[in-house]
C-alpha cells in the first residue's frame, strides 16, 4: 500500500482521528515507510495534540457536560475507545448486511466479514467480466497472461565444445560462422533460440524491419 492507502486503513481503525490536518503529523512521527502499526504508535504519542472529528468532539463535550468530574486524559481515551468500538461495530454490521443483500445469499450469513468481503469481490469481478466485450476480454486475457519474454542476451558465452567464454560483442556476432569467428553458426542458432532474434539484433544495434539482411542472417 502507498501512504494514502495506509492512512485510509489507519483511519478506518481510528475514525475519530480522520482529519486531514492530522496526516502530516502522523506521517512525520511514524517515519517512512509508514505502516498501520507505526501510525498507531505515532497516534498514541501525539494523543494530546491530534484533532478529532467533529462528531467525536461533540460527543466528548456532551459527555463532559454530564460528567464534569471526568476531564482527565485517561477518561477521554476510554470514552473515545468505547465510542470508536461502537462505531466500527455498527459500520461492520451495515457492511455485512449490505454484502448479504448484494449477493442475495442468506445462506452465507454467519461467515466472518473478511470471508464475505472476498466472496463479494469475486462476485463483482465476475459480474464486471460478463459485461466486457470480446475485444475487452481478449485484452484482459493478454494482460493477465502475458507471453513469456526471453532473457536478456548475456555479455559472455561459452561456445559449443569450448571451455573459455567469449564476449558477445556486435563484432563477434557478425563474424559468427566465419573463418575468423569466435563462435560458430550452431552457436548463433542456439543464442537465437534461447534468447530470441530481437535480443541478438539489439546487441547488433539493428532493427529487423529496416535491416532485412540481418533478419535473414539471424533466423538461420
Q: Residue 176's closest CA among 158, 189, 195?
A: 189
Give the tens place of pLDDT for each residue, 127-172: 999 999 999 999 998 888 887 777 899 999 999 999 999 999 999 9
Ranges of residues in the chain whose predicted pLDDT is under 50? 210-216, 219
- The answer to whether the CB of 91 falls within 8 A of the CB of 59 is no
Give the tens place of pLDDT for each residue, 93-110: 999 999 999 999 999 999
Please count the residues of the chain: 220
Q: How far is CA 203 from the centre of its chain?
A: 33
Q: Quick check: bond before 196 cis, omega within 30?
A: no
What pLDDT was estimated at residue 72? 86
Q: How far apart are CA 139 and CA 136, in angstroms?
A: 5
Tell me the H-state helices in 54-72: 54-66
Q: How far apart are CA 207 and CA 220, in angstroms?
A: 17
What pLDDT was estimated at residue 219? 47
Q: Phi-psi region for residue 110, left (φ > 0), alpha (ψ -120 to 50) or beta?
A: left
Coil, strand, or helix at residue 111? strand
> Within a 10 A sphere around the Cβ of 88, how many other Cβ atoms?
14
109, β-bridge pairs:
111
167, β-bridge pairs:
156
What pLDDT was estimated at residue 106? 95
Q: How far apart are CA 188 and CA 204, in angstroms?
A: 13
What pLDDT was estimated at residue 131? 94
- The answer to whether the CB of 62 falls within 8 A of the CB of 32 is no
Q: Kindly give the interhelix angle for 54-66 and 73-103, rounded to the nearest 10 degrees.
A: 130
Amino acid at each position: 500500500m502507498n501512504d494514502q492507502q495506509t492512512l485510509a486503513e489507519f483511519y478506518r481503525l481510528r475514525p475519530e482521528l480522520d482529519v486531514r490536518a492530522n496526516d502530516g503529523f502522523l506521517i512525520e512521527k511514524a517515519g517512512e515507510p509508514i505502516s498501520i502499526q507505526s501510525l498507531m504508535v505515532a497516534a498514541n504519542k501525539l494523543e494530546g495534540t491530534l484533532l478529532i472529528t467533529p462528531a467525536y468532539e461533540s460527543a466528548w463535550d456532551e459527555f463532559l457536560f454530564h460528567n464534569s468530574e471526568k476531564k482527565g486524559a485517561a477518561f477521554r481515551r476510554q470514552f473515545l475507545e468505547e465510542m470508536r468500538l461502537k462505531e466500527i461495530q455498527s459500520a461492520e454490521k451495515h457492511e455485512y448486511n449490505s454484502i448479504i443483500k448484494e449477493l442475495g445469499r442468506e445462506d452465507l450469513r454467519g461467515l466472518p466479514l473478511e470471508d464475505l468481503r472476498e466472496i463479494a469481490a469475486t462476485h463483482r469481478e465476475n459480474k464486471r467480466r460478463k459485461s466486457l466485450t470480446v475485444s475487452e476480454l481478449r485484452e484482459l486475457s493478454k494482460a493477465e497472461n502475458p507471453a513469456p519474454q526471453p532473457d536478456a542476451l548475456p555479455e559472455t558465452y561459452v561456445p559449443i565444445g569450448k571451455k573459455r567464454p567469449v564476449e558477445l560483442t556486435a563484432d563477434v556476432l557478425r563474424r559468427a560462422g566465419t573463418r575468423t569467428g569466435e563462435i560458430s553458426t550452431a552457436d548463433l542458432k542456439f543464442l537465437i533460440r534461447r534468447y530470441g532474434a530481437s535480443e541478438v539484433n539489439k546487441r547488433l544495434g539493428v532493427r529487423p524491419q529496416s535491416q532485412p539482411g540481418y533478419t535473414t542472417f539471424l533466423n538461420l
